[in-house]
Chain A
Amino acid sequence: MAASERVTVALRTQEDVVLLRHRVREQAVGLKFSLLEQTKIVTAASELGRNVLTYGGAGEAIIEACMKNGRYGLTLTFIDHGPGIPNVEDAMRPGFSTGGGLGLGLAGTRRLVDEFELRSEVGKGTIVRIVRWK
Chain B
Amino acid sequence: MDRVPIIKIGKYLLAAIQADVQDNVAVALQEDLAARIIAAGSRLVLLDISGLQIVDSFIGRMIGDTAGIVKLLDAEVIVVGMQPAVAITLVELGLTLSGVRTALNVESALAMAGIRDRN
Contact = CB atoms under 8 A, between A and B. Distances in A.
B57 interface: yes
- Contact residues on B (Cβ < 8 Å of other chain), bracket: 20 to 34
Contacts, number: 70
Contacts of B22: 14-15, 17-18
Contact of B95 (A18, A42, A46, A104): A104
Interface in B54-112: 54-58, 60-61, 83, 85-86, 88-89, 92-95
Given A14-B23, A108-B94, A112-B93, A42 B57 contact: no
Contact of B55 (A25, A43, A112): A43
A39 B54 contact: yes
B119 interface: no
Contacts of B54: 21, 39, 42-43, 46
Q: Is the interface of B mostly helix, strand, loop or mixed?
A: helix
B64 to A, nearest CB: 9
A104 B89 contact: no
Contacts of A43: 54-56, 89, 93
A21 B43 CA distance: 35
B31 interface: no
Among A14, A21, A104, the one with the most B-chain Cβ atoms within 10 Å of its Cβ is A104
A101 B58 contact: yes
Nearest to A18: B20
Nearest to A34: B85
A108 B53 contact: no
A111 B95 CA distance: 12
B99 to A, nearest CB: 14
A102 B89 contact: no
A101 B57 contact: yes
A109 B54 CA distance: 13
A82 interface: no
A105 interface: yes
B89 A101 contact: no
Contact of B94 (A14, A40, A111): A111
Interface of A: 14-15, 17-18, 21-22, 25, 35-36, 38-40, 42-43, 46-47, 50, 94, 101-102, 104-105, 107-109, 111-112
Interface of B: 20-24, 53-58, 60-61, 83, 85-86, 88-89, 92-95
